[in-house]
Amino acid sequence: MSDNICPACCSANISQYEKSETITDFFGVERGIRLIEYSCADCGSTGDFFNENDDFIQAALNEIKKNEIVQMLEEFSANKVNFASAERALGLPQRTFAKWKSSDVTPNAAAVSLLKMVYRFPWLVEVADNKYNYLISQKIMIQNAVSSLIHLLSISNIYDSNAITVSDESSEGSLFFNATSGQQLSSGTTNITPSILMKSASPIGAQYANR
């Protein structure tokens, strides 16, 4: 970079240093990106003097996207999702998922969004399979919402007859609430009440909410 000069004072007395940033992917995993910045010994300016980092960030985002797609599709396979029937229901060409999984074809942004929706709410495939019929779609959504809610909430009367246990699948354990006051009875990292959960205002509720 000896032929590069400081964009502020035109000094050639600049040095390069590495900087790292993190991007959180769809699965909540933090991915590090190594960026390059410069500092000028004469005027003290620092930053991405030659606009190189946009390319690094874009490359990292593409890599993250590719990994997300492969991981989602591998989980579909592990959960015995039939690719052919899902593709048919969603109106995608045959072997679309296989192509995405093998990274032969990088899906566009709309396709990635579709995949994320279906990953989060697998019953959307059933909605599509029923030609988006309004009443059937509502029924599928409600059935899944209720079963998610039943899964989340289980009545516990071991410690307190009014206590409700909210089991958090994300490994934070069980939280206890007084069913009448909604007051949390034991410690937990997520402060939610059944009523808040119903409104899907919490991260846990949102994960299962159908809006």
Binding residues vs Zn ion (CB under 5 A): 6, 8-9, 11, 40, 42-43, 45
C-beta of 38: minimal distance to Zn ion in Å?
9
Q: Kindly tell me which of 43 and 163 has the beta carbon lying closer to Zn ion.
A: 43
Instruction: Give the max Cα distance, the chain.
Output: 75
- E strand or H helix that includes residue 153: strand 153-155
C-beta of 39: minimal distance to Zn ion in Å?
9
Rounded Cα distance between 139 and 126, Å, is 11
Q: Which amino acid is at 91?
A: G
Q: Kindly tell me which of 42 and 74 has the beta carbon lying closer to Zn ion.
A: 42
Q: Kindly tell me which of 1 and 59 has the beta carbon lying closer to Zn ion.
A: 1
Classified as helix, coil or strand, 67 is helix
C-beta of 2: minimal distance to Zn ion in Å?
15
Q: Kindly tell me which of 40 and 89 has the beta carbon lying closer to Zn ion.
A: 40
Q: What is the dihedral of CA 66, 70, 75, 76, to 10 degrees?
A: 100
Q: Kindly tell me which of 9 and 59 has the beta carbon lying closer to Zn ion.
A: 9
* DSSP summary character for residue 43: T
Termini Cα distance of the chain: 52
C-beta of 8: minimal distance to Zn ion in Å?
5
Q: For the chain, where are the E strands, in sequence order?
A: 14-24, 30-40, 46-47, 153-155, 163-168, 173-178
Angle (deg, nearest 10), helices 83-90 and 109-120: 120
C-beta of 12: minimal distance to Zn ion in Å?
9
